[in-house]
Structure 1
């Protein structure tokens, strides 16, 4: 809807409001009543003040309409920002009309006049319509031009006042003088998204419908029993005070005992059922989230820190399930009890009930404002906590490195600084909670005083008995407790929704490189072809790692991939393992792109022994058979023997059942390497990748393992990556990569005879002779992670393809 249409509708309503209110007050054309009531105004006999409320409503809407027309760019945003203030003004008008009704009922006939009832009803309805038209004017700020600057500017100022920092805030360009703004569409969308998020969380309870019905049944039983307790308490007091009879006293007392017993039993069943239901929600959330994480591409784990991911999986899911379980339980119980209390209160005295409900809207508005603010704070706290967990996880997982560089104090200070950021947000939460409790307690106290004062008046005038007043006061206190619970439930749900949105962000994420291949041939020859492959990591798309790389790995042959650090050797391994997709070209296995193979089938045909093998905190046998099921012990021993690991494994305390510790910390580097080799050999792969597989072994162990590998290499397609060039002398083909380009390839003798880059590298490394070769570019480390959580040592330079050496 356009701004002009919204303003036109608002002005028409203002005119109609003035006309209808005036006609009802003046009984039609009798305008002389204005002067009469003005000269002889009596609040108990005149309703001139009730007519005056139309001036308040008209001033609000006329001011907003003029402001929107005068400043179409900023006006709607400012109107939207003042919505809460307008609601409070209209609630005040509504409550004054209700108070006027109660005052006139004491006078007598005026409250029953048809024209007054119509005027009273129209005043209440028009107060609600004023809020509606105000929201209509403020809603237009999302459709005004490209700026929306007024709302964005105002919200940005509010955010800075709240200390929320720069999140979601951006500097404006020309014409705004550097003022701060934030997208108003996102802010307005958050409110509606909260309901959708909560609804989605509750949808996970669909499988527990039967248990939920049982819980809700006992909730009704408990609430109904509790609703009758104040009623019979008042009867018992009347039995003593009014009837002065033990018979009138003992009957309601016995009923109270039965009601209390039934309520207690039902409350226990209800609480247990709800706890079980939401424990299942926690189970489903964690299971689905972890499975979603397992489907993500490797680039996702390169871009997201392990601490952030584990924080979503642990603290956020726990917070969601706990808050939702506790708050939904309390919410349902409080709502059912509040409805029952309200029915009893209305039956006792509709006048007292009217006084009671006059304060409810104010408490609701306060709870809404506080809930939205607390939700934003909760998101910031979760982000700060994730940052602190990131530092802690990285430090603890690399404790040996921290200790070796004596960086304990620096890491502790870094962690403490992150905790201080979270503490500042916690202080804001504490101040917000203090302000909420102050305003809430003041409102409740004022309401209780009004009820006692008016109830005392009704007792004195004989319109209510003392016992009924006591029952009503008890109902009011219980109703206040229910409303307070509902208010806290709202803020608690907003806190849970804030954590749930982050969980759903990962849960709904679609992998950019899904493992959806379908090929699973029975026979695999192991022919690997890199066909004009160009590649850049997703976290560094502007830096090209491989540039038109082409080579072939043939079955039964050993191919060595060598080159300076950062030339792209490990990147070739990542592409062959289908960790990433190349930007151009293809990586083929038996003539088919590797991403077209079924995930399980591909990695049963390709096995990798990495430079830094990762072992899990399980037994030696479980690490060797990782990813396999039903493997006989003989096969495990055979694979360990081939990897020269059987001897040291049998020397361990429990042999193959010995735990290796977290990431294999209870084994030496050479022992971990041999277990990793055995883990690869037990699969009998068609393609075997050895990425510096013997780098951690001593000379004797390397010789034995190399002999074992030489005995099986002719049965596989073998790709060897080594920096020690002496280990690749026996390779059938050596591919030399530099700066992402294949510059040489051929057998060892041919490359040495050509005296190219390979020859210079051998001379430098083996013979220690300075050959005058041009210096290699310094490596650049992309922000990627290895499986162990450290930085993966893939390196590259920013050299363009034209700077590459001439390809072989």
Structure 2
């Protein structure tokens, strides 16, 4: 819908509003009513004040329409900025109209005032129409319109601004252009927040689609519980009437017995509902976390270069837990409170529609406050999650490198770094606390005003015998319960927004497609092991402007041992990463048996090409599990054979539990040389065609290194492998063919 359409609708609605309000006010054609009411205005008999509101509504809509027509670029954004103020104005008009309706009923029955009743109803309806049209006018600052206007050649685009750099005012123009673009981008992001929030909640619910049956059962018991609770205040009032009005034990005992039955049924249904919801959303947490981990496993190595481990762990643990917990609690509370609120409103209007109008006058204001607070709290929640991830990153990095921290006596420095991150989060927590305090204060004041107003007007209705004292008590209980429901719904909204903020960060990872997917299809029956680098140029994703390799070409032939020798940082390990298909080269090709390595199936490639890195990573499992990592159905004989070739069998058998001994986190229970020998055994057990040793014997003593190296020369002759040794050790280089 374009600006012209929204402006046309606003103008037509304004004309209809003015004409219809005037007709209803003058009772069709009595224009003399204007003069009579102006001279003798009486709020209980005159409707001139309601007609005056139409002038305000018309002025607002016409003014906004003119603004967005004259200034299509900035006009809608300025209109949107005033949305909260216009909503407040319309709510005041509706509240005033309802209050006037109640006052008129004290003078004469509404059946005798059809024109005035129609005017009040139209005033409320037209106020709602103004709210909707105002939102529509403000939403026209869409990305398409903004970009069209921002880059209109007639108005001067950013490219034209840059082309006029030689002019005297070129710097001011450039800065102004950047500011306009930033404001436009920020506004576009804000306009999409509501849509994204709803889509995020819906997407979270889709993860529980398999539990639809359980959710239906939980919803059934939720309805039973809510209906029973809705009847309880009614029978409280009847019990009071039995004492005050009838003074009869029979009239008193019957509602008390019914109250007991309702309480028992409600409690049972509430327990079943809560248990099923908890089970269902525990399954949601399981699916969400496993799906996220599966997505992380598919990402390319460059993703882990660009993102800190602490940030990833925060998404996988803290954010997923927060999402499932908040959704579990808030969806449960929201459904229960909504159904109860609907039941309470039904009984309230059944007891007294007049008193109900007084009660609901303040509800829109409470809702508006909740909306503003929820939006602000959501922004703070996302910032808190970001700072928490940064703090977790510092903690994870420090704890995982505790030996280095201790060796350089930098405990105090790491404590200061972690405290600085926590302090940044604390500053955001203070803003959250202040916002929550303001919200609770405004909410409590609104509820107190409502309670006093209802009590005063309800007392008036009892005194004038328009309702019984028992009904007043029932109504007051309903109103208090309704207030709690609305408060719960408001807190649910803010809680959902907090959960949505965490969920959006999780979905950023879930939606991310790997830039270098392992989707090769080649899996030939035989692999000779011929490796070729042809004019390879490569730069890491985190440093795209710095070439680590440039025009590199060499060949690794089957049955030969080749050493790549060079200073630190010359790109030896980068060659290993390319051969392992961790990255794609910017230019050139890395071939295995004449085919690019990225065309091979992921499992096939890494069963034919085995790597032992500079710092081999072991997992917190047994020695046997580390050697057979990634393999299944490996015999113990094969494991021992691989360990023997790696000169690891002797030290493994000397361990307390032999091959079942745990190596600790990252192999901390083993020495550096022992870890390297286990890693070499892990590579040899695969019987690879290409064996890559990236400084893999740097931590071995001379005897162990000699033992490992003597295994390698015989390896090609037995298994037709292509050992490729990449390190600086002169002893190893002497054993290489190239």
Name the counterpart of 1:548.
551
Deviation per CA, 1:711-735: give whole Å up to 9, x if none.
32433111110112342122112xx
Give the C-alpha shift of residue 203 in structure 1: 0.8
Deviation per CA, 1:287-306: give whole Å up to 9, x if none.
00000000000111111110
CA distance in 1, matches of 2:326, 2:31: 59
CA distance in 2, matches of 1:674, 1:174: 60
Residue 735 of structure 2 is aligned with which of 703, 709, 730?
730
CA contact (8 A) 1:308 1:389 kept: yes
Residue 247 of structure 2 is aligned with which of 231, 244, 260?
244
- In the alignment, structure 2 segments of 5+ residues that lack a partner are 151-171
CA distance in 2, matches of 1:52, 1:533: 79
Deviation per CA, 1:223-260: give whole Å up to 9, x if none.
11111111111111111111111111111111111111
Match of 1:720, SS?
A: strand
CA distance in 1, matches of 2:314, 2:637: 41
Question: 1:633-652 counterparts in 2 under 5 A?
Answer: 633-652=636-655
CA distance in 2, matches of 1:194, 1:146: 24
Name the counterpart of 1:300.
303
Q: Sort the Cα spacing of 1:300 and 1:172 in 2 relative to 1 into closer, same or farther, 3 A.
A: farther
CA distance in 2, matches of 1:369, 1:148: 30
Name the counterpart of 2:480.
477
1:98 matches 2:98? yes
CA distance in 1, matches of 2:276, 2:286: 16
Name the counterpart of 2:56.
56
Give the C-alpha shift of residue 137 in structure 1: 2.2
Q: Sort the Cα spacing of 1:413 and 1:563 in 2 relative to 1 into closer, same or farther, 3 A.
A: same
CA distance in 2, matches of 1:285, 1:646: 42
CA contact (8 A) 1:384 1:421 kept: yes
Give the C-alpha shift of residue 649 in structure 1: 1.1
Question: 1:317-332 counterparts in 2 under 5 A?
Answer: 317-332=320-335
Name the counterpart of 1:201.
204
Q: Sort the Cα spacing of 1:212 and 1:3 in 2 relative to 1 into closer, same or farther, 3 A.
A: closer
Give the C-alpha shift of residue 417 in structure 1: 0.6
CA distance in 2, matches of 1:451, 1:636: 82
CA contact (8 A) 2:110 2:117 kept: no
Aligned positions, number:
712
CA distance in 2, matches of 1:343, 1:430: 36
Question: 1:360-759 counterparts in 2 under 5 A?
Answer: 360-714=363-717, 715=719, 716-733=721-738
CA distance in 1, matches of 2:529, 2:666: 31
Name the counterpart of 1:86.
86
1:129 matches 2:129? yes
Match of 1:343, SS?
A: helix
Give the C-alpha shift of residue 586 in structure 1: 1.4
Give the C-alpha shift of residue 434 in structure 1: 0.7
Give the C-alpha shift of residue 146 in structure 1: 4.3
Deviates more, 1:306-315 or 1:39-48: 39-48
Name the counterpart of 2:163.
none
Question: 1:2-13 counterparts in 2 under 5 A?
Answer: 2-13=2-13
Deviation per CA, 1:328-361: give whole Å up to 9, x if none.
0001111111111111111111111121221111
Name the counterpart of 2:217.
214
Using structure 1 for the length normalisation, give the TM-score: 0.86
CA distance in 1, matches of 2:597, 2:112: 85
Q: Sort the Cα spacing of 1:350 and 1:110 in 2 relative to 1 into closer, same or farther, 3 A.
A: closer
Match of 2:634, SS?
A: coil
Deviation per CA, 1:18-58: give whole Å up to 9, x if none.
22211210122321111111222221111111212112212
Q: Sort the Cα spacing of 1:670 and 1:41 in 2 relative to 1 into closer, same or farther, 3 A.
A: same
CA distance in 1, matches of 2:109, 2:294: 71
Segments of 4+ moved more than 6 angstroms = 176-180
Deviation per CA, 1:499-527: give whole Å up to 9, x if none.
11111110111111111111111211111
CA distance in 1, matches of 2:140, 2:635: 71
CA contact (8 A) 1:101 1:111 kept: no
Match of 1:183, SS?
A: helix
Name the counterpart of 1:192.
195
CA distance in 2, matches of 1:112, 1:223: 39
1:291 matches 2:294? yes
CA distance in 2, matches of 1:372, 1:443: 20
Match of 1:718, SS?
A: strand
CA distance in 2, matches of 1:419, 1:578: 39
Give the C-alpha shift of residue 482 in structure 1: 0.7
Name the counterpart of 2:46.
46
CA contact (8 A) 2:139 2:191 kept: no
Name the counterpart of 1:314.
317
Q: Sort the Cα spacing of 1:263 and 1:145 in 2 relative to 1 into closer, same or farther, 3 A.
A: closer
Name whichever structure is richer in helix by fraction: 2
Using structure 2 for the length normalisation, give the TM-score: 0.94
Q: Sort the Cα spacing of 1:660 and 1:338 in 2 relative to 1 into closer, same or farther, 3 A.
A: same
Match of 1:644, SS?
A: coil
- In the alignment, structure 1 segments of 5+ residues that lack a partner are 150-170, 734-808
CA distance in 1, matches of 2:365, 2:291: 41
Q: Sort the Cα spacing of 1:629 and 1:346 in 2 relative to 1 into closer, same or farther, 3 A.
A: same
CA contact (8 A) 1:105 1:111 kept: no
CA contact (8 A) 1:73 1:147 kept: no
CA distance in 2, matches of 1:414, 1:219: 48
1:272 matches 2:287? no
Deviation per CA, 1:615-648: give whole Å up to 9, x if none.
0111111111111112121211111111111111
Q: Sort the Cα spacing of 1:145 and 1:672 in 2 relative to 1 into closer, same or farther, 3 A.
A: closer
CA distance in 2, matches of 1:609, 1:591: 24
Deviates more, 1:54-63 or 1:512-521: 54-63
Give the C-alpha shift of residue 111 in structure 1: 5.7
Give the C-alpha shift of residue 397 in structure 1: 0.7
CA distance in 2, matches of 1:177, 1:649: 65
Residue 284 of structure 2 is aligned with which of 281, 285, 289?
281
CA distance in 2, matches of 1:671, 1:145: 63
Question: 1:138-177 counterparts in 2 under 5 A?
Answer: 138-142=138-142, 144-146=145-147, 173-175=174-176
CA distance in 1, matches of 2:149, 2:190: 12
CA distance in 1, matches of 2:658, 2:339: 63
CA distance in 2, matches of 1:493, 1:56: 36
Match of 2:564, SS?
A: strand
Give the C-alpha shift of residue 172 in structure 1: 9.1
